[in-house]
Structure 1
Amino acid sequence: MSLPFRGNPYSGSPLDRASDRRDDPAFVAGHLRDPGTLFVPVWRSRNLMRLGPDGAEAVLLSASMATLLGVAERPWALLGLDRGRAVFAVDLSAEDDPLASMDGLEGAAFADLREAAGLLPAPEAAILAHARALMHWRSRQRFCGACGAACEPRSAGHVMLCTGCGASHFPRTDPAVIMLVTCRVEGEERALLAHNRRFPVARMFSTLAGFVEPGESLEEAVAREVREEAGVRVGAVRYHSSQPWPFPSSIMLGFVAEAADPTLMLDAEEIAEARWFSRDDLREPERVGIRLPRPDSIARRLILDWVEQVQR
């Protein structure tokens, strides 16, 4: 399989993150006061959107709306610049109904970002994902993990500084590998998909995945997870692509791995069922009684790229 040529959902943000300006108080304060600044609201891990039968759109707050909500007293962070205009994330989770006092937001509602999978324009989905992940981290880094003292935001919301021991805490992203395992079975290349016992959708089969452990390379994580979950040993491991996954705070690192032996020995506590599927099977998953992963997932991308034998 050649390297992919298109981005995954939640990637490809159009924002200039302006990381070199985050520690400039005048720069940040000036944009917070600028009437042209936009704010991406996050409420209890949900994003503000308008959802319709033909699509979805992100709903951002104007500076005047944000002022009414008292942005200065809420957790916020600079996401970046859009052609010179600043875009901030703001967490409104402390409000029971943050939209009650806002005019001009007809049809807008806070919703799970995954509900809009495939409906939002890609740049908007990337910005909402960025805001969701950053505000999730802020909500869980209120106190220092070293001494327990309270933390205060610095660097335009990208650092939490401990008021006790002075430790600086930075946004956390947990790396997870996700891999499509292939093998020749009866002379035909097939892909291994499994139904995890935690999947909320019945009969959904997906690629194997797992978090990277300390002291482990990505390739070693791929091999370990496949062996632990399916009892299969893999040889060649090739990188495919990556995807931000802010549910709540991961980066999915996609791989394709080759197995020499298709014999399966499943981890019964984790995997309910696993099978080797042909490309024809996965072109018509309903015919073989399964459902593929969500369209916004890199798992779906790995499967479809293999089915279509995508070329650069």
Structure 2
Amino acid sequence: MIPIRARRPNPYSASPLDRASARREDAAFLAAARESPDSLFVPVWRGQSLLAGEAEAVRGVFLAGAEADPWRVDAPWAFLGLWQERPVFAIDCGAAEAPPAFDAPAFGETARFADLRAAAGALPEAEAAILAHARGLLHWRARHRFCGVCGAACEARSGGNTLVCTRCETPHFPRTDPAVIMLVVQGDAALLGHSPRFPVPEMYSTLAGFVEPGESLEEAVAREVFEETGVRVGAVTYHSSQPWPFPASLMLGFYAAAQSTEIVLDPAELSDARWFSRADIRNHKALGFRLPRGDSIARRLIEDWLESG
């Protein structure tokens, strides 16, 4: 199978940030940066990002100056890095029972908290990546408040990028779960499946699953495809990766060459799986099925395969 290269960056993977990890232990720098009117603050409320605008004009709202003053002291925060030399912090607004209201003067309207996935296709690439970074890091912080070793409370260190147990002093680092996502192909046909968990009833997508301990990525691809569809695969080639902070995954994209075509479904995972030709996929609307969302690596795998043939 001829490798198919990624033709453009995946959504959430074009971060403009210098993560400046060497500054995370610099308490004086962090204190001054948090007080600086030039610093940018990325608010997250219970997994939702602050957005303004509509349709193709959606933008992320980054607070600075007086807009950020209410959140400089009490809200949990994390240093994300530098954007054009300006410090950028994530701030957790989740303690508020209702989403806080912010003005967005540049848009002449009030900003609102919303699911990042609903707007990612319209957001500028840099903004989408920063918002995803903030969401993922704060999700980890909110769910690892206590030590997994002794159960005591943890406190943030290293600019909010590490948690340390207050009793046994075990350090805990942000967790990312690796998942393989693959388009299985044979000649002019690709294997797509439908899960009852999909939010769109008519959607067919690539297969995917988490990497298990002691397993290579190629082994995970072959195992997941066989478990879900009964199809055997041979050559596995890498395409690209995508951070997916919904809640905390790194999606590793592959193409897999099928060695068999008979489908035997695992009903716990899929309600249907079919082989589709390129013509079928290009004509998916007329045929009554939908493809995965535009901000997903699944869609990029499909589109790049379509363009290769």
TM over 0.5: yes
Q: Partner amino acid for 2:181?
A: I
Is it true that 1:170 corresponds to 2:182 in the alignment? no
Taking the aligned partners of 2:120 and 2:292, their CA distance within structure 1 comes to 12
Matches within 5 A, 1:58-207: 58-69=60-71, 71-100=72-101, 102-103=102-103, 106-184=109-187, 189-207=188-206
SS of 1:13's partner is coil
CA contact (8 A) 1:281 1:287 kept: no
User: What corresponds to 1:290 in structure 2?
Assistant: 289
Distance 1:56 1:150, change over 3 A: same
Q: Per the alignment, in what secondary structure is the counterpart of residue 156 of structure 1?
A: helix
Counterpart for residue 300 of structure 1: 299
**Cα-to-partner distance string for 1:85-131 (whole Å, 9 max, x where unaligned):** 1010000000124534x555633100000110311011100010000
Whole-Å Cα distance in 2 between the matches of residues 115 and 200 of structure 1? Answer: 12
- CA deviation string 1:216-273 (max 9, x = no partner): 0100000000000000110000000000001001000000000121111110121111
Which letter does structure 2 place at the counterpart of 1:285? H
SS at the partner of 2:37? coil
SS across alignment from 2:191: strand
1:123-181 deviation digits (Å, cap 9, x = unpaired): 10001000000010010111001100000000000000000111000000000000000
Alignment gaps of 5+ in structure 2? none
Deviations 1:14-69 (A, max 9, x none): 11100111111111111111111110000010000013133200001113222223
User: 5+ residue gaps in structure 1?
Assistant: none
What amino acid is the match of 2:83?
D
> Whole-Å Cα distance in 2 between the matches of residues 205 and 104 of structure 1?
38
Given that residues 51 and 116 in structure 1 are in contact (C-alpha distance below 8 angstroms), is that contact kept between their aligned partners in structure 2? Answer: no
Partner of 1:66, secondary structure, is helix
Counterpart secondary structure, 2:17: coil
- In 1, are the aligned partners of 2:153 and 2:165 still within 8 Å (CA)? yes
SS at 2:88 equivalent = strand
TM-score when scaled to structure 2?
Answer: 0.95
Q: Name the SS of the counterpart of 1:61 in structure 2.
A: coil
Choose 90-99 or 245-254, whichever is displaced more: 90-99
* Amino acid of the structure 1 residue aligned with 2:142: S
Letter in 1 for 2:38: G
Q: What percent identity do the matched residue pairs reach?
A: 60
Q: Give the root-mean-square deviation of aligned CA atoms.
A: 1.3
Question: Which residue number in structure 2 is paired with residue 42 of structure 1?
Answer: 44
Evaluate the alpha carbon distance shift between residue 232 and residue 29 of structure 1 in structure 2; reply closer, same or farther with a 3 A threshold. same
**Residue 212 of structure 2 aligns to a residue in which SS?**
coil
CA separation in 2, counterparts of 1:57 and 1:142? Answer: 31
Q: TM-score normalized by structure 1?
A: 0.94
Amino acid at match of 2:241: S
Specify the alignment match of 1:234 in structure 2: 233
Q: Whole-Å Cα distance in 2 between the matches of residues 68 and 135 of structure 1?
A: 18
Aligned residue pairs: how many? 304
Letter in 2 for 1:303: I
Q: Check if 1:29 corresponds to 2:31.
A: yes
Kindly indicate whether the alpha-carbon contact (under 8 Å) linking 2:179 and 2:250 is maintained by their aligned counterparts in 1.
Answer: yes
